[in-house]
Amino acid sequence: MNKTLPKWADVLLIPLLNLFLALFISGLVVLFIGKDPIEAVKVMIQGAFGKYGIGYTLYYTTNFIFTGLAVAVAFHARLFNIGGEGQAGLGGVGVALILMSFNWPHWTIAILAASIAAFVFGAAWAAIPAYLQAKRGSHIVITTIMFNLIGSALINYLLVGPMKAPGMAPETPHFPPGASIPTLHDFFGLFGIAFDKNSPANISIFIALAALVFVYILIWKTRIGYEIRAFGHSEKAAVYAGISPLKITMIAMLISGGLAGLLAVNTVQGEAERLILDTVQGAGFVGIAVSLMGRNHPIGVLLAAFLFGILYQGGGELSFAMGIPREMIVVIQALVIMFTGSLENIVRIPVERLFARFGKGEA
């Protein structure tokens, strides 16, 4: 929108300044409740990178890569997908249905099947909002919010009804043993590297990394990616160039929902090994922050997802070590969304003015 800003300032300086502001205000919140922010940062970093913590950090990071990419792909088509929470939840239903149906001979087949099921179910849950947006002009933000809530009711119903295991708890039976995928402990063990045995991190992190590459190629190296970006840039121009809004909206949202659905491979197949209530735990919403912070670029998403992984794991330690409730993470998340999203111009406008002034001096 403004040519006064060099690229490095646009992709690096402004996000970092915004992030700094968000973290600074988070620090003020910590001060406000009478705790020491510096101490809090120490506790969080130790908690996130300690011998036991790192596995959880990577586990959360995996989730946030999936949901961050989901939001990012939709953003490229200028669609705001708030439905990651529901799509990931339904992905879990898909994973549970397929894994309970067969006796899996080997985990490699099981993870492939589970991934496909997760993607398909997640995509399916995004399909109706996408279709309604493209065909009937219903606002996708509202419909995806509604689908989150409908999805959560549906999963509740399934877990107390048709899919429920015998017993009291609202959960499915355990998946058959063949469906169990290796943890990072098993994986690193092959190379003789020690990794915490009790951590939930598992090899689905490699699916997440592959998804990053997939999205990069999709958005920047394929025709369809070009069309998605063109559509996001200007719908009118895209239509004029012969790009079908229905097709682009559907494709972008199906991929977006599918990526969100893949989260279930990590949480449902990898960690719980059965479908339980609330497997997503807000990761769908964290994806919004991750995507905004990562500027909708896979590398940015990777870094932001890792940062939020640290925040989630380290933030949990805050309540043990300092009596700061876990909700501190939600506040930080809110401030990151605010400053890198809606209040972005608070930094951008003054920075642009600065560059305009000094830029003139040089020329």
Partner 1 sequence: MELLQLMDSAVRLATPLLLAALAGLYSERSGIFDIGLEGKMLMGAFVAGAFSAVAGMPVADGGWGWTHGMAWFGLFMAIIVSVMLSLIHGFASITLRGNQLISGVAINFFAAGTTVLVGQEWFHSGGMTPTLKDNQRFEPITLPFADAVKDVPVLGPIYSDLISGHNIIVYIALAAVPVTWWILFRTRFGLRLRAVGENPAAVDTAGISVIKQRYAAVIIAGVLCGVAGAYLSLGTSAAGFVKDMSAGKGFIALAALIFAKWQPRGVLMAALLFGFLEAIGNKYQSVDLGLFVIPVQFMQALPYILTVVILAGFIGKAVPPAAGGEPYVKER
Inter-residue long-range contacts of 206-213, CB under 8 Å, 24+ positions, other chains counted: 207/111, 207/115, 207/262, 207/265, 208/61, 208/62, 208/65, 208/66, 208/262, 208/266, 209/65, 209/302, 211/65, 211/66, 211/69, 211/259, 211/262, 212/65, 212/69, 212/298, 212/299, 212/301, 212/302, 213/298
Q: How far is the CB of 177 from partner 1 (least distance, A)?
A: 31
Integer Cα distance of 207 and 125 in angstroms: 21
Q: Smaller CB distance to partner 1: residue 91 or 170?
A: 170
Integer Cα distance of 102 and 96 in angstroms: 11
Q: How far is the CB of 21 from partner 1 (least distance, A)?
A: 13
DSSP classification of residue 132: I
Q: How far is the CB of 161 from partner 1 (least distance, A)?
A: 7
Q: Which two tokens stand for residue 131?
A: 């279709």
Q: Smaller CB distance to partner 1: residue 234 or 345?
A: 345
Q: Smaller CB distance to partner 1: residue 52 or 157?
A: 157
Q: How far is the CB of 34 from partner 1 (least distance, A)?
A: 6
Nearest-Å Rg of the Cα atoms of the chain is 21
Q: Smaller CB distance to partner 1: residue 104 or 285?
A: 285
Could you give phi then psi for residue 139, rounded to 5 degrees?
-65, 125
Residues forming contacts to partner 1 in the complex (CB under 8 A) are: 29, 32-34, 80, 82, 128, 132, 136-139, 141-143, 145-147, 149-150, 153-154, 156-157, 161, 285, 288, 292, 324-325, 327-335, 337-338, 341-346, 349
Q: Smaller CB distance to partner 1: residue 70 or 205?
A: 70
Q: How far is the CB of 176 from partner 1 (least distance, A)?
A: 28
